[in-house]
Amino acid sequence: MEIKVKYAKNQESRLSKIEQGDWIDLHANEEVHLASGDYKLIELGLAMELPKGYEAHVVPRSSTYKQFGVIQANSMGVIDESYCGDNDFWKFPAIALRDTVIEKGDRICQFRIMEKMPELQMTEVESLGNENRGGFGSTGKK
């Protein structure tokens, strides 16, 4: 599958997928100084044309909070195939939970390409006809 990628003029790092992983790391394309509680859309320095019927899921790397003290503002970013213009550069919405500095080139998040949800038809019913399983967290602690 081919994906067209346009890099910002000042973006030095290029995308590469490691063999043992299903996610591709994304790098900050700017140096960012954040105080605890600050919010910033961090430039990632690239735009893509995703294949028709696909979307990208963007999430923090497992070490992002430990290394930088930031979390992603919207839990998971979803970029659909229509966000494909020359200036539709990807960004990472970060909230700092401590004072931090993110250097240009730091790997702060990752993405993968997923097929979009198929067309669905919702049917309203009076009963689903299944046994109730319980509420959130009802299966116990251990």
Residues involved in catalysis: 80
46 in Cβ contact with 84 (< 8 Å): no
Q: Do β-strands 32-34 and 100-102 pair in parallel, antiparallel, or remain unpaired? A: antiparallel
SS (HEC) of 69-131: CEEECCCCEEEECCCCCCCCCCEEEEEECCCEEECCCCEEEEEEEEECCCCCCCCCCCCCCCC
Q: What is the DSSP letter of 22?
A: S
Nearest residue to 44 via CA among 74, 71, 5: 5
- Distances in whole angstroms, Cα of residue 1 to Cα of each of 16, 39, 49, 66, 113: 14, 35, 12, 34, 11
